[in-house]
Amino acid sequence: MYRLLAAVKKAGPRHLKLHGARHTAATQSALDGVAPAVIAAWLGHTDASFTMKRYTHSQPEALKSAGDTFDRVVTSRDTQQG
pLDDT recorded at residue 1: 65
E strand or H helix at 22, and its extent?
helix 19-31
Burial 35-71 (b: 16+ CB within 10 A, else e): ebeebbeebebeebeebbeebbeeeeeeeeeeeeeee
Which of 56, 37, 57 shows the shortest CA–CA distance to 48?
37
Structural domain boundaries in the chain? 23-81
pLDDT recorded at residue 13: 66
pLDDT recorded at residue 67: 84
pLDDT tens for residues 29-81? 998 899 999 999 999 999 999 999 998 877 778 778 888 888 888 887 666 66
Q: Which residue has the higher pLDDT, 17 or 16?
A: 17
pLDDT recorded at residue 47: 96
